[in-house]
Each structure stands twice: as C-alpha cells, then as structure tokens.
Amino acid sequence: MTSAPLAARLTAVAGPLFFPVTAYGPDGDVDLVAFRRHVRAGIDAGAAAVFACCGTGEFHALTPAEFGRVVAAAVEETAGQVPVVAGAGYGTALAVEYAKLAEAAGADGLLAMPPYLVVADQPGLLAHYTALAAATRLETIVYQRDNAVFTPGTVVALARTPGIIGLKDGLGDLDLMQRIVSAVRTELPGGDFLYFNGLPTAELTGLAYRGIGVTLYSSAVFAFAPDIALAFYRALESGDDGLADALLDRFYRPLVELRSKGRGYAVSLVKAAVRLQGLDVGEVRTPLTEPPAAHVKELAQIIDDGRALLAERAVGGGA
C-alpha cells in the first residue's frame, strides 16, 4: 500500500489496467512463483495498475487463505510502483472478510464484485456496498454486471458514499451508462468519480465508451500480449484511428468472436494465451473448463496476426 490515494493514482494512469491470471501448479495449488513472474512482466511492460484476484484472476475459485497470499504476492512484487486493487465479493459478510484480508495484505483498493446469487433491489445493493466500503480504509470501485445493475440514482448515492471512488461497467448498456454519468455530473458537480469500461474485451468498445467520457478500461489482452494492448491504448490516446481500426479489425474482433464460442472463455482463453507466451500458469479451476486444442490454435493465430500488423506498421513507418 502507498500513501497516495487510489483515486488520484488511477486518474493519472498512462497505460492499461492489468488483470493478471492466478497461476496454479501441477498439483492444483496456487503457484506464487509463476504468479509473481506474471505480475512482474506486466509491470515491466507498462501496466498502470494491478487488479489481483478479480474476474480474470478467478476470485470465485480461491479460498480466503489463497486469496490473501496471492494479493500479498502482488503487493510485494509491485513494491509500490503501481497500485494493487483486490477483488471482494459474495454476500456482505464474506465480502467484508475478503476486504479485510486485502487490507491486511497491503492492497491499495478493492474491486467490489456482485453479491453471490441473489438478485437484490436498489436499496439492498446500496446497503451492501455501503457496508463494504465502511469495513476497511481501502478505496472501493463498484463493479456493475450480472445481478448488480444500478439506476442512475443509486450510482449518485454510491458516489456520495465515503470510500467509494468509481464504477466499473461490465454490462455494456451505453444508454444506461450515459444516464449514470449525466446524473452524477448533475448531482455532484465538480466531483471526481471514476468510470471504467469493464467489458471482457474492453478495447472493442473503447471508442464508444470514450464518446460518453469513459476512458479508463480493463485490458485482459494486456495479460498475454502487452505489446498489442499498449499499441491500441496509445493509438486511442494519440488519435491514431488508422491503427486503432486495424487492430480492431485484425485482432480484437476475431478474438471476441472466438471468445463467444465457449462458456467461461473470458477467463480460460486468457489463461491459455498466457501459456502460449511461455509462462505456465496452469489451467483454470472448475467449474470453468479449458478450451479445446482447435480453439487454442485459433487463438495463437489471432495473436500472431496482431503482432504481424504491428510489425507491418513499424516497417511502414506507421502509414
């Protein structure tokens, strides 16, 4: 943990947000050596923040003890270079316990995932996240997706809650997001509430989200192809529409179309891709399953095509 507020550090990011996978050894146990290598590679490649034990990191599959060890390893490996945000979820009591484990491990903040199983009304959701934010000193980002979908009024109330600094959207309803952004801007003028595009391959919708003022995004691609993820990020930042469009056409769209071919591929494909790059992080834990060999071969080709495009651009001077 660093002394600088998480909100300030995330406002000033200069690169993608890195969501590392959780590594497992041949015996199925957490492999902290491989995980540290994965985190270090991401930091060295230019990650702006490390989100440990979140969706891509299989939060759902980790025991509390494993969770604490993995978050601590991420904190130790980053050594304050970038902030570390840890996942927290399930019902309120368990979410609070995970939050306390993250705080004890030295995390800088929390990504609050949806409550387990139940579909709550807006007052119940607000009470849940208010209790979670009050449980520790960690700044909290609320994750909208699945059974945690908020009205603009609820997000205004969340933005007023001490300790809650932002909303990550994994729903993809741009109409709702525009109304949320407008409501918070109207009710809390001059505020610094943060918004994140948290869709599984956020780059595909990056241009659309930027249109409503949401520029922060999580990059699953950064976990296995940071060169491609950074090239796209810089293209967006610099207004290089030609490169951004080319990467969307030749890399991101094919990747998303492959992701749609299997359940849980938002996690298992990422893990397979990390292994393709030479780091053995093990397989996903059940109930997720591994993609078949044909899909892994297709994945490898998509990555090769993305890198070929970058090489062509380098040779051609960016033309």
| CATH level 3 topology of 6-238 | TIM Barrel (3.20.20)
Residue 100 annotated as catalytic: no
Look at residue 191 in the predicted model and tell me its pLDDT.
Answer: 87
Closest CA to 156 of 170, 146, 145, 142: 142
Look at residue 4 in the predicted model and tell me its pLDDT.
Answer: 58
DSSP label of 110: E
Which entry of 24, 143, 217, 265 is annotated as an active-site residue?
143
Look at residue 317 in the predicted model and tell me its pLDDT.
Answer: 65
**Cα distances (angstroms) measured from residue 241 to each of 15, 17, 189:** 18, 21, 32
Q: Which residues in the chain show pLDDT less than 70?
A: 1-4, 317-319
Closest CA to 51 of 111, 112, 132: 111
Residue 209 annotated as catalytic: no
Strands (E), the chain: 17-18, 49-52, 84-88, 109-112, 139-144, 164-169, 194-197, 216-219
pLDDT tens readout for residues 169-181: 999 999 999 999 9
What are the domain boundaries of the chain? 6-238
Look at residue 15 in the predicted model and tell me its pLDDT.
Answer: 86
Query: Rounded to an integer, what distance in angstroms lies between the CA atom of residue 49 and that of residue 103?
Result: 17
| Cβ atoms of residues 209 and 201 within 8 Å | no
Look at residue 11 in the predicted model and tell me its pLDDT.
Answer: 86
Which entry of 98, 168, 217, 252 is annotated as an active-site residue?
168
Query: Residue 287, preceding bond cis, omega within 30 degrees?
Result: yes
pTM, two decimal places: 0.94
